[in-house]
Amino acid sequence: MIEEMPELSRQTVRFCPLCGYPLLMQPVGPEGRHHPSCAGCGFVFYLNPQLVVGTLPRQDGRVLLLRRNIEPAKGLWVFPGGYVDLGESVEEAAHRETREEVNVEIRLDGLLGVYSFSTSPSAIIVYLASVLAGEPRSGPEAQEVRWVGPDEIPWRELAFPSTGAALADWVKSLGRAG
């Protein structure tokens, strides 16, 4: 049985990553918002959203989706995407994640939108993209890949709220209701 790891939150962060002293919830900065702060060295542990990037690879009026092969949301549909690594630009991450997940090289054609929800630890930047090379195929993180048109989107089987929001924005950009 796989045991789930505890989630990083203000309740689970207890010790300073720099000096090991206990962290205390204290008011910080002029706004006085409470953040975990080190009793020893004064380090403030800001828990900010993780940055995720996604692409909507398009071809012939359709977008490329993948069925996830990993948790969370295993078995549900999403567009290629993932976390932006430290030292990597958002654009570099968009190219890397698309290549890793669906085996295609893309050109970024512009920003579709930025999506965040108070219930999610991530903020996602989604780009429209054109496929330049490669034959779409599943990587280790995908059970299958599929081109879908606006009328073929599996709305009830989408992985995340951001997946639905971005696809709805894409459909609206085509002049159709989502």
Domain range summary for the chain, segments of one domain joined by +: 9-47, 50-173
Could you tell me which CATH class the domain 50-173 is placed in?
alpha beta
The number of angstroms, rounded, from the C-alpha of 43 to the middle of its chain's C-alpha atoms is 28
Q: Which residues contact 136 (CB under 8 A, 6 or more apart)?
A: 57, 64, 102, 103, 104, 145, 147
Model pLDDT, residue 4: 54
Residue whose entry in the numeric block shows the structure tokens 């930047």: 125
Model pLDDT, residue 44: 94
What does the block give as tokens for 163? Answer: 């997946």
pLDDT, mean over the chain: 92
Q: Looking at the domain that runs over 9-47, which CATH code has it been given?
A: 2.20.70
74-123 residue pLDDT tens: 999 999 999 999 999 999 999 999 999 999 999 999 999 999 998 888 99
- pLDDT higher than 60, residue 1: no
Catalytic site positions: 144
- pLDDT higher than 60, residue 5: no
Q: Which residues contact 119 (CB under 8 A, 6 or more apart)?
A: none
154-172 residue pLDDT tens: 999 999 999 999 999 999 9
